[in-house]
Structure 1
Amino acid sequence: MDPSLRDAAAAAVRDGLKDATITEMFLTCLDDTLETTVSELDDSSTFIITGDIPAMWLRDSVTQIRPYLLFAAASPELRRMLRGLIARQAELILRDPYANAFNRTADGRGHQDDLTDLNPWVWERKYEVDSLSYPLQLAYMFWRATGDTSWATPRFAEAARTIVRTIAVEQNHEVLSPYQFRRPNAPAPTDTLTHDGFGPPTAPTGLTWSGFRPSDDACTYGFNIPGNAFAAQSLAQLAELATHAFADPDLSRRALALSTQIRTAIRQHGIVEHPTLGPVYAYEVNGLGDTLLMDDANVPSLLSLPMLGVCPPDDPVYRATRQLVLSPENPYFVEGTHASGIGSPHTPPGHIWPIALCVQGITSTDPDERLRMLTTLRETDGGTGMMHESFLADDPNQFTRKWFSWANSMFCELVLDMVGQPVTALLRPGHAR
């Protein structure tokens, strides 16, 4: 990162928050992704590992670079890196739109014993609809930040058409989907899919199916509502890109129509009546009458919907849902002696995810709550000056994944948001600069 841009960001944080520890943590986390996880491949594309896992998740590789989008217009080096990431993601999606994580080369590393249609590029083949949404969000935000359209190659357009086709197929998973996934001797029931790898039954609703959540845990019910909301938003952004960034009117029409179908289905099937809060978003439904009320730390989450551009933070259904998921009614809401926040079945009981605390701060309209989240993150770093996957709410010195780049970037995004440089501004509709 250009030293002058880094120094300017540090000055904004130092002057805006007047907290030397936060400023130091911000710089440490800002440096982390670029210095430890990003590499340029021989074809000039960009490969980004998650941290302690040497594979690239489509989701994580976008969340890891979101803060740098704010500096891309002023940095040719960052623009090159981001264009390379868009290109690499497009190629990987064309290799397998159902995979969530990929290898640097076709070396067959990762979960090669899984019973699914593997190829040597794939590290893991858990189908998570958000894995197809994040690359669209990246292209949109990069275009909004820079006005650059050189990434909009025929290969990107082909990948975008593959995304639209896959999401549409999974609206009728039981009949049309080719996807199956089984993990022999899975360490947890949530690490595999039931019903011979097709997952629990669903009925068509207009929602799109996902085998797994953004936590990489299997969905209880196949229609994950935050994942659907994010897909609808990203498809609408693709429609805008296919109109203004590259000329593909048919793709624009199909993406917008699919987005509209999913949004309509969310209103019809994804909002349920809570006995005291009124209408709230469900976390998952199956179209057969079953509903799951909860939230998970991983994004897309119900808590994160405003951060993804799905709805404003003062939306009444979102406000009621926020009250629900930040309470003991959410089975993964954790209260401890050092912190309270949302965890995940992906980590041990009693653990809170810093990602969720960052999301809670970014999506809050209460200055006191935002500051409280930042203070909590400062005090629960386990003495490392960086974020982790999760920490024990009663003892932050006990944490999972010391090297987890997504959490570090989320911390940077919260800090930048609090000093008037919101990454989310790039999601507001309108033409690029």
Structure 2
Amino acid sequence: MKIEDLFKQADTILEDEKLREMFKKCFLSTLETSVKVKGDKTYIITGDINAMWLRDSSCQVNHYLKFIKDDLKLQKLIKGLIKAQVDYILLDPYANAFLSEPDVEREYHDTTIMKPYVWERKYELDSLCYPVKLTYQYYQETKDQSLFDEKYLHFIHTILNIIELEQKHSENSTYTFERDIAKTWDLRKTETLQNHGHGFDTRYTGMTWSAFRPSDDACTFNYNIPGNMFCSVILNYLREIVRDIYKDSYLEERIVDLKFQIDYGIELFGIVHHPQYGKMYAYETDGYGNHVLMDDANVPSLLSVPYLGFTDYQDEVYQNTRQFVLSHENPYYYEGTRAKGIGSPHTWPQYIWPIALSMQGLTSQNENEMKELIDMIMNNTGGTGVCHESFDVNDDSKYTRPWFCWANSLFAELVLKAYFKM
């Protein structure tokens, strides 16, 4: 199916004109506003920030993957994005966001190793995972093996090296990050790492360390559980690629062993017993028995676990966790007169994120719940007809980021699931 065929179907399936128009606008948001092609590479900005996040750019095109078989131009665009992501990670696997040009005047003053083309060097585990997920999904849709050259094999080794090294961050890692709060005094304290940029000490668990969350906020405790779950999933993808394409049994064994260590760590250190909800996943831990019990709107999140493919929706521990994160026991769950859902320490109290509302729908098995969430998002755009980063649960005219493509893409994905059964 091509996108134009989908839109013809939308004219019939989506009877609500407001929903129909918002779906089309959000579906095309990235293609119409955020894409720059340079040779065989594709550069996709996140929206109102003129930089490309590895995470956001992957999520921004996820809903297009169903249509690339019948659209060679779209297929080429996504292939070009994967190539750009590979180049960027090989340039600096600790960076989370990049530029299409080598030099720019940055807003922030960061103490870390900055290279040309790097916009921000916050090490986020999910930034290594998303390009693998996109590659695997692209390959599943197209069966195009041309991506899997020597450079991609080098890319695989690079991310494995970092993931393994960061299993013992306190002992082995040289990565540091400090943002000069004195020069940008209005920034949140979560913009920088404590302990002179090293983060707090961690104990070996089998899991791998991350400096920052998918929200770009510093971790409280640096074993982020949903990030490690996502890492476990993409290691399965890499195992399949290495086995079927590169036919490297040694590398396959290395990947299997690493996945086993991470899974073991999640099971042993990432599960807590809540007095109300029982056995559930923590959001972060340090391996010393300290935990953060919360969920954040950004993905990977605890809410998104079945969406990412780590466990089934019916899994008891996930169900307990889901009940927790969609309750006031989660310190970032808010309810108001217009909406209710999950927010983030990245934004103000009482502000919830359309990304989390869409993810709640995408991880639901209840069609009514999905459509209620679609209506909630649709009726809280501040009159713009597109999704924002976050909005006030009592007043949708108060929102952050007028142009945020990831939220638009995820909303379109939810509509595809709820109304088109895709």
Q: TM-score normalized by structure 1? A: 0.94
Q: Does 1:122 find its partner at 2:118?
A: yes
Long gaps (5+) in structure 2: none
Q: What's 1:335 paired with?
A: 335
Aligned-partner residue type, residue 329 of structure 2: E
Instruction: Assess if the C-alpha contact under 8 Å between 2:367 and 2:418 holds in 1.
Output: no
Instruction: Assess if the C-alpha contact under 8 Å between 1:111 and 1:124 holds in 2.
Output: no
Long gaps (5+) in structure 1: 423-433
1:150, distance to aligned residue in structure 2 (A): 1.3
The whole-number CA distance in structure 2 between the counterparts of 1:150 and 1:105 is 26
Instruction: Assess if the C-alpha contact under 8 Å between 1:167 and 1:208 holds in 2.
Output: yes
1:248, distance to aligned residue in structure 2 (A): 3.4
Q: Does 1:153 find its partner at 2:153?
A: no
Instruction: Assess if the C-alpha contact under 8 Å between 1:297 and 1:353 holds in 2.
Output: yes
The more displaced of 223-232 and 27-36 is 27-36
Q: Does 1:30 find its partner at 2:44?
A: no
Aligned-partner residue type, residue 295 of structure 1: D
The whole-number CA distance in structure 1 between the counterparts of 2:316 and 2:13 is 31
- Summarize the alignment of residues 184-333 of structure 1 with structure 2, pairs less than 5 Å apart: 184-185=180-181, 187-333=187-333
The whole-number CA distance in structure 1 between the counterparts of 2:11 and 2:419 is 9
1:17, distance to aligned residue in structure 2 (A): 4.1
Q: Percent identity between the aligned chains?
A: 47
Instruction: Assess if the C-alpha contact under 8 Å between 2:110 and 2:179 holds in 1.
Output: yes
1:253, distance to aligned residue in structure 2 (A): 2.3
CA change 1:201–1:372 in 2 (3 A) is same
- What whole-Å deviation, never above 9, does each CA across 1:201-247 have from its counterpart, x for those lacking one? 11111011000000000000010000000011111111111122443
Q: What's 1:73 paired with?
A: 69
Instruction: Assess if the C-alpha contact under 8 Å between 1:389 and 1:399 holds in 2.
Output: yes
Q: Does 1:182 find its partner at 2:150?
A: no
Q: Does 1:380 find its partner at 2:380?
A: yes
The whole-number CA distance in structure 2 between the counterparts of 1:147 and 1:284 is 37
Q: What's 1:430 paired with?
A: none
1:264, distance to aligned residue in structure 2 (A): 1.2
1:304, distance to aligned residue in structure 2 (A): 0.6
Instruction: Assess if the C-alpha contact under 8 Å between 1:111 and 1:123 holds in 2.
Output: no
1:420, distance to aligned residue in structure 2 (A): 4.3
The whole-number CA distance in structure 2 between the counterparts of 1:253 and 1:194 is 36
Aligned-partner residue type, residue 390 of structure 1: S
1:174, distance to aligned residue in structure 2 (A): 0.3
Q: What's 2:404 paired with?
A: 404
1:176, distance to aligned residue in structure 2 (A): 0.8
Q: What's 1:20 paired with?
A: 17
CA change 1:396–1:417 in 2 (3 A) is same
The whole-number CA distance in structure 2 between the counterparts of 1:164 and 1:419 is 39
CA change 1:395–1:112 in 2 (3 A) is closer
The whole-number CA distance in structure 2 between the counterparts of 1:27 and 1:109 is 35
Residue of 113, 122, 131 corresponding to 1:135: 131
Instruction: Assess if the C-alpha contact under 8 Å between 1:214 and 1:299 holds in 2.
Output: yes
- What whole-Å deviation, never above 9, does each CA across 1:33-89 have from its counterpart, x for those lacking one? 0111111113x1111100111111000010000000010111111111111111110
Instruction: Assess if the C-alpha contact under 8 Å between 2:3 and 2:67 holds in 1.
Output: no
Aligned-partner residue type, residue 208 of structure 1: T
The whole-number CA distance in structure 1 between the counterparts of 2:14 and 2:303 is 25
The whole-number CA distance in structure 2 between the counterparts of 1:417 and 1:14 is 16
The whole-number CA distance in structure 1 between the counterparts of 2:82 and 2:180 is 34
Q: What's 1:427 paired with?
A: none
The whole-number CA distance in structure 2 between the counterparts of 1:245 and 1:74 is 24
- What whole-Å deviation, never above 9, does each CA across 1:242-297 have from its counterpart, x for those lacking one? 12244333332222221121011101110111112211000000001101100000
RMSD: 1.4
- Summarize the alignment of residues 403-422 of structure 1 with structure 2, pairs less than 5 Å apart: 403-422=403-422
Q: Does 1:144 find its partner at 2:163?
A: no
Instruction: Assess if the C-alpha contact under 8 Å between 1:108 and 1:119 holds in 2.
Output: no
Instruction: Assess if the C-alpha contact under 8 Å between 1:13 and 1:416 holds in 2.
Output: no
Q: TM-score normalized by structure 2? A: 0.96
Partner SS, residue 89 of structure 2: helix
